[in-house]
Chains A and B, each alone.
Chain A
Amino acid sequence: MDSSANLLHDYQVLSQTHAERFDPALHSLQAQIEQQLQALQQQEEPLVQQQQNVLNALQDAIATDARWLMGLSEFQQYLQNTQPRSRSWSTREIIPLDPSPLNWEIYTSENAVQISNFEEDEELDDYDDERTHASYGYTVQVKMGTYCDTLYRTTTRRVYGIRDTRHYNLEDQREQLESAISDLFYGSNLDRSIIDHLSQELSYLVGYACQLFMMKPRRVEWCYSPAAEESA
């Protein structure tokens, strides 16, 4: 019993010895890193500000009329990354869009497509049919001619617990947007087929614009990764 009772004391002594020997060096290293990071952050500030200014201008241009995005090669790349899935469950026939966005209805329309008021948000009390969960996503406003609506909550991630997180990829998000955008034309006299077509085209443009709205200025960040070091 006595020898067992000493085990906890032995551990505490060893642990204290370790702390005395290594903590000062660790604290010094930490202070050194923080000092260097502060110096780098001061140096980067003008470039961060320039990035932010360009992003602000980009967002303003999208809010004025986002259709200039449709001529970019990056938009073509986005289209390739968001191929519609087969919809065997749907009675609706998917009519493929023209390969060139510059031939789309929304591009040739006289009405600007204004995309603005983008906000990323979280809902900690979200729910499905069975369980509550935290969900993450974004809300954005779209205006085309006289049609204007806030597309509330495109979901990017649902967190049910530490072992159950669901991610929504670009196509998942675009499908959510397409469904929400069709409400834009709620109460209009447009034919259903026209609403479907416009909603489909707009969903790509809004989906891509939202990816741009999510861009943040690149900043110096300290991330120590032993695993990365080992593999290097």
Chain B
Amino acid sequence: MINLWLSLSAYGGLSTRRILETYQTAGIRFVELAIGPKPDPDTAEAIAAYRQCGFQYRAHHAFVWGDRHSPFNLSDDRIDWSSLQARIDWMATLGITAYSVHAGHYAWDGDRTLAYERFLQNLERLHFECYSAGITLGVETMYSPAEPRPYRYLLDSVESIHDFLQTLPAIKLVLDLAHLNIGYGNERSTLLSMLFAESDRLLEIHLSDNDGKQDLHSKITPETWWIPWCNSLPKQIPLILESRMNRKGSSFLRQEVERIQHWLQGGNERSQN
């Protein structure tokens, strides 16, 4: 059976409680906490309440936790460690054992070497804190947009990902298949072969699509570039669906999750229509 989870970012714009209510109606119980819900003082209570109803959680980066969204950058030299520690402690009390974070970012024309050094230092500390709390940490593969942005990511190429795997062998990777659609060109297949051969290094795999330019989290279609790879995805690795379905309603959610599940199990689109 495919281990498919649904990110809270797939149904954002509402309070966490409303989203979890919708997921419950749609029969979805495996959820990744993420950016997307409207920050709300009730967030932590809602997450805990639905855990009592059988929900299981993973957590992603600066997931919405309280009454505001608090982003952080692992290449920053001024990380609020007390806040991050509180996040980790809370995850542990909730039984969360998998936490994925974005690779660090730095100014578009900034110093990549310095950003990478800080990133590695911060990551080692975060890894230690997570490990101590019984949580496995993973870092997400990012991308390099063609057009200038205010900042650019680390782990945005096959070479940088390969280098990371060698440098910090204790830390896992989170593979985002949609990110590989932005700026990787033909190398994305090389990367997939490399990562699937070392699947014990993968914490989870994120699924969505985009236009090749921006990380849009769009709907997965038969033309989505990684579809031909469905049968090669390592079976034991959790898959996280991140396509946006905001305001579509619970029955759409249910059908969409079933459609993707069917596909990942080797079915085809035609028989789902």
- Give A contacts to B, CB under 8 Å: 87-92, 123, 125-132, 152-153, 160, 163-164, 175, 179, 182-183, 186-192, 195
Contact = CB atoms under 8 A, between A and B. Distances in A.
B273 A187 contact: yes
Contact of A131 (B71, B211, B219, B247): B71
Given A91-B222, A130-B35, 18 more contacts: A91-B228, A92-B221, A125-B13, A127-B35, A128-B35, A128-B215, A129-B9, A153-B246, A163-B150, A164-B150, A175-B211, A179-B218, A183-B219, A183-B252, A186-B255, A187-B255, A190-B273, A195-B273
Given A129-B102, A129-B215, A152-B246, A191 B270 contact: yes
B35 A89 contact: no
B84 interface: no
B38 interface: yes
B247 A152 contact: yes
B225 interface: yes
A92 B71 contact: no
Which 5 residue pairs across A and B have the least CB separation, nearest first?
A92-B223, A89-B212, A90-B223, A127-B35, A89-B181
A160 B214 CA distance: 15
Given A125-B13, A164-B150, A187-B273, A132 B223 contact: no
Interface in B223-253: 223-225, 227-228, 246-248, 252
Nearest to A180: B219
A167 to B, nearest CB: 12
A125 B69 CA distance: 10
Contacts of A164: 150
Given A123-B13, A126-B13, A152-B246, A192 B222 contact: yes
Contacts of B215: 128-129
B217 interface: yes
Contacts of A160: 150
Contacts of A153: 246
16 contacts: A90-B212, A90-B223, A90-B225, A92-B222, A127-B9, A127-B12, A127-B69, A128-B215, A130-B62, A131-B35, A179-B221, A183-B219, A183-B248, A186-B255, A189-B273, A192-B269
A92 B36 CA distance: 30
Contacts of B269: 192
Q: Chain B: interface residue count, which band? A: 35 or more
Given A190-B273, A192-B273, A91 B225 contact: yes
A196 to B, nearest CB: 8
A187 B254 CA distance: 13
Chain B CB within 10 Å — which of A160, A163, A175, A192 has the most? A192
A87 B246 contact: no
Interface in B41-76: 61-62, 69, 71
Most buried by B among A163, A186, A188: A186
B13 A87 contact: no
- Pick from A89, A127, A130 the residue with the most CB of B within 10 Å: A89
A70 B198 CA distance: 54
B225 A127 contact: no
A192 B247 contact: no
Contacts of A192: 222, 269-270, 273
B217 A129 contact: yes
